[in-house]
Amino acid sequence: MDSWIERFVTYLRAERHYSEQTVAVYEPTLCGFAAFIGGNGQPIDWSLVSREDVREWIASQMERRKAAATVNKQLSALRSFYKYLLMCKAVESDPTRTLKGPKKEKKLPYFVREKEMDNLFDHMVFADNYAGCRDRLILLIFYSTGIRLSELVGLDVNSVNFHSSTIKVLGKRNKERIVPFGAELKEALEAYLPLREQQPQAADNPALFPGVKVSRITKKAVSDIVKSCLSQVTTQRKRSPHVLRHSFATAMLNNGAEIEVVKQLLGHESIATTEIYTHTTFEELKKAYSKAHPRAEE
C-alpha cells in the first residue's frame, strides 16, 4: 500500500475515529485510484496528479457501470485524502477541488393510476362502521389533497373549514398552508365527524383522527391502513401514504394543472422538487404514444 494512503488510514482510525465500515470504503478506493494512475505499482507522487487524471478515473468507474452514488462516494474519499495531504503539506493543490461528480439519476416516483384509484373509491367495499368510514376518509384526504403522512396525523377537527372547503395543514418547519378540497371529500368528512364523536377516545380530543391508546392515530396505523387498501387495487410493490401523495401530484398534472399550482399544494419550497412529476407524466405520455400510434413500434 502507498505510504501516504497508509498514513491517512491510520489518521482516520486514530484521530478522526472513523468507523471500520467507513475505512473499508476509503482504503480500497484510494488503493484503486493509486493503481489507476500509477499502473506499474511504483510509489505515487501525489503532487503530480492532475485534474484530468481524476476526471479519467471517474470516467473509468462509470464505464464499469458503477452507480453515480457509488462514484460520488469514491470521489468524496479522494477529496478527504487530498485535504489530508494539504494539511501535511505533501501537496500544494487539490486536483479534486473544482470537479463535480456524476449526476445521480432521479428515480421516478411510484404512483397509483387514476383508474386504480377510481376502483378504490367507487367499487371497493369499506366496513359500514367508524373504522371503515375513517379508513376511506384517510385515503381520500391523501389522494384529494396530496398532504404528507405527518401532516395528516397532525390534523385537528378545527383544521377543516367547511365554509371555504379548505384544510389548514402544518407542514415542514412548522409552515402552514391552506389546501382546498372538493365535494366528495366534504361529504366524506361530514359523514365521518358524527361517528367520530361517538368514540370514547374522541372526548376532549382535538385530533381529527384520535388514536386508540394515544391522542392521535399513529403513523404506523395510517401506513398499515393505506397498504392494506391499496393492495386490493394495485400490484405495485410500494403502497404507502407517500405513494398517494405522488398519485395526487401526477393526477393533477395529467389533468392540466400548472406545475406552480401543484408546487403550492404540495408545500414544496423549490419548483425543482415538483418537476420530477413532469417526468412521470412524460413517461406516461410516451407509453400511451407507443401503444396507440400505428408506427411507433417500427
What's the CATH number where 233 sits? 1.10.443.10
End residue of a domain, out of 69, 87, 105: 87
Active site residues: 148, 172, 242, 245, 268, 277
Please list, in sequence order, all residues whose beta carbon lies within 8 angstroms of the beta carbon of residue 33, skipping any fewer than 6 positions away. 57, 74, 78
Residues 56, 130: one domain? no
Bridging pattern class, strands 176-180 and 160-161? unpaired
For residue 200, being part of any structural domain is answered with yes
Contact 221, 211 (CB under 8 A): yes
Instruction: List the chain residues with pLDDT less than 70.
Output: 39-41, 105-108, 279-298
Q: Residue 80 sits in which domain range?
A: 3-87
Q: Are residues 143 and 245 in the same domain?
A: yes
- Selection from 33, 1, 8, 43 nearest residue 22 by Cα: 8
Which pLDDT value is given to residue 40?
63
| C-alpha–C-alpha distance, residues 16 and 197, integer Å | 57
Amino acid at 156: D
How many domains would you assign to the chain? 2
| Backbone φ, ψ for residue 166 (5° rounding) | -135, 160
Q: Is residue 95 situated within a structural domain?
A: no
Residue 217 covered by a domain: yes
- d(Cα 45, Cα 100) in Å, to the nearest integer? 23
Q: Which grid cell is 157?
A: 377537527
Q: From the centroid of its chain, how far is CA 158?
A: 30
Q: How far is the C-alpha of 140 from the C-alpha of 288, rounded, in Å?
A: 27
The pLDDT of residue 106: 65
The answer to whether residue 99 is domain-embedded is: no
Residues 273 and 138 reside in one and the same domain: yes
Alpha-carbon distance of 12 to 22, in angstroms, equals 9
Write the CA distances from 30 to 87, 117, 235, integer angstroms. 17, 50, 44
Burial of residue 136, with CB atoms counted within 10 A of its CB: 0-12 exposed, 13-18 middle, 19 or more buried:
buried
Query: 264 and 137, same structural domain?
Result: yes
| Same domain membership, residue 234 and residue 128 | yes
Largest separation between any pair of C-alpha atoms in the chain = 80
Using the 8-state DSSP alphabet, how is residue 207 labeled? B
Cα distances (Å, whole numbers) of residue 142 to 31, 165, 168, 181: 50, 15, 14, 11
Residue type, position 239, single letter: R
Sheet with 176-180, strands from edge to edge, namely: 160-161, 166-170, 176-180
Judgement on whether residues 141 and 259 belong to the same structural domain of the protein: yes
Interval 252-261: pLDDT, tens: 988 888 889 9
CATH number at residue 57: 1.10.150.130
Task: Give the model confidence (pLDDT) of 97-122 as tens digits.
Answer: 988 888 876 666 788 889 999 999 99
Contact status, residue 124 vs residue 233, Cβ threshold 8 Å: yes
Cell 376511506 belongs to residue: 136
- HSE, CB side, 13 Å, CA atoms: give it for residue 239: 18
pLDDT of residue 105: 66
Q: Could you give the CA distance from residue 72 to residue 196 in angstroms, rounded to a whole number?
A: 51
Q: Say which DSSP state 65 is in.
A: T
